[in-house]
Chain A
Amino acid sequence: MNEIKNNSYNQFKKLGYPTKKLENWKFSNSSHLKKYNTIISDSNIDIKEYLKIKNTLCFLNGALIKESLENCDFKNEILISNTIDIKAKDTIKMSENFNNEALFNLGIAKFNEGIFIEFKKGNKDHIQINVINIYDKKSENMFAPTFNIFKLNKKNNVSIFEKDINHGFDSFNLRINKFICDDDSILNHSSIYQDDTQSNLLRYNYYQANTNTIINIDSFNCESSFNKDFIEIDLDKSGAEATVNALNLTKNDEHADNNILINHKSEHCNSSQNVRNILQNKSTSVFNGKVIVFEGAQKTDSNQSNKNLLLSKEATAHSNPQLEIYADDVQCGHGSTTGALDKNSIFYFQSRGINKEDAIQILVKAFAHTVIKTFSDDNIKKNAQAYIDKWMNE
């Protein structure tokens, strides 16, 4: 790992902080991230309350709190080791595209803590893992990089629900995850990011899907000053499926950014992307969605949708759905819409006696609900539904 870390640091030095000249950073600024350069792993906060939550792995500033494992029914179904100790290069190997990302390399170079969880072979029972990432930011300019790897063996059925809790100062949380999914496995990966410390979150999630693997990714983000997600999925073997559903709520000067790349590398694979942004005030969003259908990946079925609802004239949504197809027997669709609420819809409500403010609330919730209902995890569904009311009325 040390060699990899050194190489990554050299790569970061070579690339430098990303600039707007890069396609994936064209509409987002990285210069404000430079000041976050202090890595702290110790903490003063009382974690007892968190340890009481059942079936939940707690991470404090990126490091697993080992005691949290004691309250988990699944503790005998997993093997845990430190990412830093992994020797197998195939296990560590990440996406080539990520290797060209400066901040990904910085994360690999600087992380101190991370776990490798392998789900035991032969277990077909559903395992629900809740992950709470607690950040105790004792000083300003804290940079918290982590690198975790999850390996699902054949026919494992795993749901991972991730939530972040921030304490203290604002920070730059950089999280790198790799998910290796063997044949016939099912992975549901859901995450909620709701932050009132106005921290910055940058995530690189890389998923490898094998024969008949099913991957569902749900993401709900709100109140993050800077939130940039990179998702790359390799559908390596026949029959693999991937679904990405994301909802971002932004206001004030917040920025939400989804960069999704799905590589159809084999035949009979399906993928779907559905990303919705609701923007208030001067907030901004970016959708860079790309599907590549490789030569020989016949019978690919893929669709991609990005819809942006602007609740303010000053809000901006950038949308860039892309398809690259090198096979001839495929079904691929993509679409993008950006606009304000439909005045005719508001009038229809008013014509039935419902006032304009209530009409707007109902229509915004309906827009969000079309993504929320597709979330595979009930936790994220309930949280997102409950949070929208609060967000609209603040």
Chain B
Amino acid sequence: MIDIKNLKVSVEEKEILKGINLEIPEGEVHAIMGRNGSGKSTLANTLAGNEKFEVTDGLIHMNGLDITEMSAENRSLNGIFVCFQYPVAIPGVSMAYFLRAAINAHLENQGKEEMDALEFLNQSKEILKKLNLDDSFLKRSINDGFSGGEKKKSEIFQLLSLNPKFAILDETDSGLDIDALKIVADGVKEFNGKKNSTLIITHYERLLEYINPDVVHIMIDGKIVKSGDMKLARQVEEKGYSWLAK
């Protein structure tokens, strides 16, 4: 599904990612753990196609297609979705208008007919119910005045609505209480049950306990220094990262 080779990325001429190699096959869930500033969010934004993040070397392939230079919208249309750590607030644009525009952009790209308002409403209501969100969520401006938990759920709502092939969850678990964490974890499990691939970026292993990823990677100073299974995540939770940096 996703194949990243020797990826080097700079922000304002400072190298953040220093040669990432990562392969996530179809249907697998991988997790990347690391301290603040290790480059995790840089990887998420680079995969999303954010132009602020300059790829200086390396390649990103998705299902054999080179997407390294692809625009953000084309990456999305090809099936990449990032749940952002800090999604922007956009006053004046309702979630319903935004999401329906996004869904219809995907359908148009696939040569399909637009989703009508009623179908969109029915689909949205079903997903909102699973996330324990009220239908009025659709009328609210995107992330405007949302609590931390609502922002995370909003991202999961969009994920389940657009149903991409590959999702990156950038610290979607941070700032969530235990009930919200379970709801988000159930959302991710539902997504992954559809043979999609997922990359979970996190500080903590508590979300991973719910989701049980296939592979856990540790990122330190822009590089993946170790990969393993859930045991590795538990070791990090217990011992921290220092022993891996040596």
Contact = CB atoms under 8 A, between A and B. Distances in A.
Interface size range on B against A: 20 to 34
Contact of A347 (B50, B91, B99): B50
A352 B162 contact: yes
B71 interface: yes
Contact of B91 (A348, A355, A362, A366): A366
Interface in B28-59: 48-51
B238 to A, nearest CB: 35
Interface string B63-76: 00000000111011
Contacts of B192: none
A366 B92 CA distance: 5
B76 A348 contact: no
Interface string B98-112: 110110011001000
A81 interface: no
Nearest to A372: B92
B240 interface: no
A353 B102 contact: yes
Nearest to A344: B88
Contacts of B93: 362-363, 366
Interface in B81-123: 81-82, 84, 87-88, 90-93, 97-99, 101-102, 105-106, 109
A342 B88 CA distance: 10
A353 B162 contact: yes
Contacts of A358: 101, 105
A350 interface: yes
A354 interface: yes
A355 B48 CA distance: 14
B88 A348 contact: yes
Contacts of A352: 76, 81, 98-99, 102, 105, 158, 162
A356 interface: yes
A356 to B, nearest CB: 7
Contacts of A344: 88
Given A348-B87, A366-B93, A370-B91, A354 B105 contact: yes
A350 B90 contact: no
A351 B106 contact: no
A363 B106 CA distance: 20
B77 interface: yes
B49 A353 contact: no
A355 B105 contact: yes
Contacts of A369: 92
Interface residues of A, number: 21
A347 B82 CA distance: 12
Contacts of A356: 73
Contacts of B101: 354, 358, 362
Contacts of B82: 351
A27 B88 CA distance: 35
A245 to B, nearest CB: 14
B92 A355 contact: no
A358 B101 CA distance: 9
B146 to A, nearest CB: 14
Contacts of A365: 92
A365 B92 CA distance: 8
B105 A353 contact: yes
Interface string A325-368: 00000000000000000101101111111111010001101110
A345 B76 contact: no
A365 B97 CA distance: 12
Contacts of A370: 91-92
A363 B97 CA distance: 12
Interface in B141-159: 142, 158
A355 B73 CA distance: 6
Nearest to B74: A353
A338 B48 CA distance: 29
A354 B92 contact: no
Given A358-B101, A362-B93, A350 B73 contact: yes
A351 B84 CA distance: 10
A274 to B, nearest CB: 13
Given A347-B50, A347-B72, A363-B93, A353 B88 contact: no
Contact of B71 (A350, A362, A363, A367): A350
A353 B87 contact: no
A305 to B, nearest CB: 13
Nearest to B73: A350
B92 A350 contact: no
A345 B90 contact: yes
Nearest to B143: A348
B92 A367 contact: yes
Interface in A172-210: none
Contact of B106 (A342, A345, A353, A367): A353
A29 B202 CA distance: 58
Given A352-B158, A362-B97, 15 more contacts: A345-B90, A348-B90, A348-B142, A350-B73, A351-B82, A352-B76, A352-B81, A353-B102, A353-B105, A353-B106, A354-B101, A354-B102, A356-B73, A363-B93, A367-B92
19 contacts: A344-B88, A345-B88, A345-B90, A347-B50, A349-B73, A350-B49, A350-B76, A351-B50, A351-B75, A351-B81, A351-B82, A352-B102, A352-B105, A352-B158, A353-B76, A353-B77, A353-B106, A356-B73, A362-B101
8 closest A-B pairs by CB: A366-B92, A350-B72, A353-B76, A352-B102, A353-B105, A350-B73, A366-B93, A344-B88
